[in-house]
Amino acid sequence: EIVLTQSPATLSLSPGERATLSCRASQSVNIHLAWYQQKPGQAPRLLIYDAANRATGIPARFSGSGSGTDFTLTISSLEPEDFAVYYCQQRSYWPPSFGPGTKVEIK
């Protein structure tokens, strides 16, 4: 099973700042990596799939990059509604697996 590691565990930032979240896979997953946002009491929401493709309706301030084992989710300028937990997930090897999450909190 592929193990995904996310860093940092917590990111403390202010609205308007840039957020950079990392995800590392235990072996290459090609580009088959997705990012999800989850707010308390809600289901996860798909943001990015296949490393760099924004899902329908996702604002342009969210962008993804990377391939192989190292991936990045960037939020160019944090809005108040962006403070949440972010998970990466790979689908290159079955079963699909998720990272432990990065919490983006208000500084």
Structural tokens at position 103? 């919490």
Examine residue 31 and tell whether it contacts another protein (CB under 8 A): no
- Eight-class DSSP state of 82: G
Structural tokens at position 7? 């860093």
Examine residue 60 and tell whether it contacts another protein (CB under 8 A): no
Examine residue 105 and tell whether it contacts another protein (CB under 8 A): no
Residue from 44, 51, 83, 104 in contact with another protein (CB under 8 A): 44
Q: Count residues contacting another protein (CB under 8 A)?
A: 21
Structural Rg of the chain based on CA atoms: 13
Examine residue 25 and tell whether it contacts another protein (CB under 8 A): no
> Where does this chain touch another protein (CB under 8 A) — which range of 7-15, 20-28, 41-49, 72-80?
41-49
Measure Cα distances from 93 to 34, 47, 48, 54 in Å. 13, 20, 18, 22
Least distance CB 77 / another protein (angstroms):
25
Sites of contact with another protein (CB under 8 A)? 32, 34, 36, 43-46, 49-50, 55, 87, 89, 91, 94-101
